[in-house]
């Protein structure tokens, strides 16, 4: 349950594009609230047709947009005259040849969910090599062989991180890079991919100290408590904390 002032803080954070952390006791509804935030977001956006990370069409043709939203290296290879992301110049791209479509954001394309645990490694966030594509292309460093991880899947949308405090420190650092820079460079790639999203995370009270300070500083922390008028929550509290006679 959120207080009226906390609701105001949530709205302010989302409108400003800030990342959010819902923290509180178990069973307070933090994960459900995080999913509700995703439901508030627009589900359609202009994207480059066929782009695995829903690249913004203007990032390929407008220098100012490309600075704010670095283009997908796969799209650069498709549409840049040079085909080289290192020397990419948006003004050299013929805008009429970039297929822009009004795409629908959904799981894996603009929305990704990550369940925090000690077994979530950086590659889960950045991506892995697709062996079939590697066999076809032959270059393990090519961006074309990358299978997008959770951070890339969430580009242009929302990343839901449940129990963020259970993520290993190395994995938290990869997430921090994405929140700071809006880009990710997978360990098995020479290219940088766009990863601009709103992160909505949850944490139980006992795991808050496990979130590293730089990452915590990037999150707007909002307390979620039990609804004292909700019968189910009262029963949960009674079971977890029986009264002593």
Which pLDDT value is given to residue 153? Answer: 95
SS3 label, residue 27: coil
Q: Is 31 exposed, middle or buried (0-12, 13-18, 19+ CB in 10 A)?
A: middle
Residue (of 155, 154, 152, 156) closest to 127 by Cα position? 152
Asked if residue 39 belongs to a domain, the reply is: yes
Token couple for 110? 């603009």
Domain span at residue 199 reads 4-43+112-240
Give the domain-ending residue among 104, 121, 144: 104
Q: What is the per-residue pLDDT across 215-244, written as a single tens digit (0 to 9) for each?
A: 999 999 999 987 665 556 556 556 665 555
Which pLDDT value is given to residue 1? Answer: 64
**pTM, 2 dp:** 0.85
Residues of the chain with pLDDT under 70: 1, 131, 134, 138-143, 227-245
Q: Which residues contact 38 (CB under 8 A, 6 or more apart)?
A: 111, 157, 158, 160, 200
* CA separation for the pair 145, 129 (Å, rounded): 6
β-pairing, 219-223 with 19-24? parallel
* CA separation for the pair 189, 204 (Å, rounded): 35
Which pLDDT value is given to residue 86? Answer: 74
Q: Give the count of beta carbons closer than 10 Å to the beta carbon of residue 71.
A: 28
Token couple for 129? 């090599």
Tell me how far apart the 2 most distant CA atoms of the chain are, in Å.
Answer: 79
Question: Do both 79 and 190 map to the same domain?
Answer: no
CATH number of the domain at 34, please: 3.40.50.300
Asked if residue 245 belongs to a domain, the reply is: no
Question: Do both 150 and 232 map to the same domain?
Answer: yes
């Amino acid at each position: 349950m959120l207080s009226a002032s906390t609701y105001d803080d949530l709205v302010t954070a989302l409108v400003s594009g800030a990342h959010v952390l819902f923290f509180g006791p178990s069973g307070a509804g933090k994960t459900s609230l995080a999913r509700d935030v995703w439901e508030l977001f627009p589900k359609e956006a202009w994207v480059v047709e066929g782009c695995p990370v829903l690249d913004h069409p203007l990032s390929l043709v407008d220098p100012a947009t490309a600075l704010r939203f670095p283009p997908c290296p796969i799209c650069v290879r498709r549409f840049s005259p040079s085909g080289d992301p290192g020397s990419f110049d948006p003004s050299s791209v013929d805008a009429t040849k970039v297929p822009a479509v009004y795409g629908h954001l959904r799981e894996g394309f603009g929305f990704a969910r990550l369940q925090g645990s000690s077994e979530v490694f950086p590659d889960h966030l950045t991506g892995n090599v697709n062996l079939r594509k590697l066999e076809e292309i032959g270059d393990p460093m090519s961006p074309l062989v990358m299978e997008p991880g959770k951070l890339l899947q969430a580009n242009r949308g929302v990343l839901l991180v449940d129990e963020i405090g259970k993520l290993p420190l190395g994995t938290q650092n990869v997430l921090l890079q994405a929140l700071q820079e809006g880009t990710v460079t997978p360990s098995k790639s020479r290219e940088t991919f766009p990863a601009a999203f709103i992160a909505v995370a949850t944490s139980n009270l006992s795991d808050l100290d496990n979130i590293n300070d730089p990452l915590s500083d990037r999150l707007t922390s909002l307390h979620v408590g039990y609804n004292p008028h909700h019968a189910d929550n009262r029963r949960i509290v009674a079971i977890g904390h029986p009264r002593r006679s």
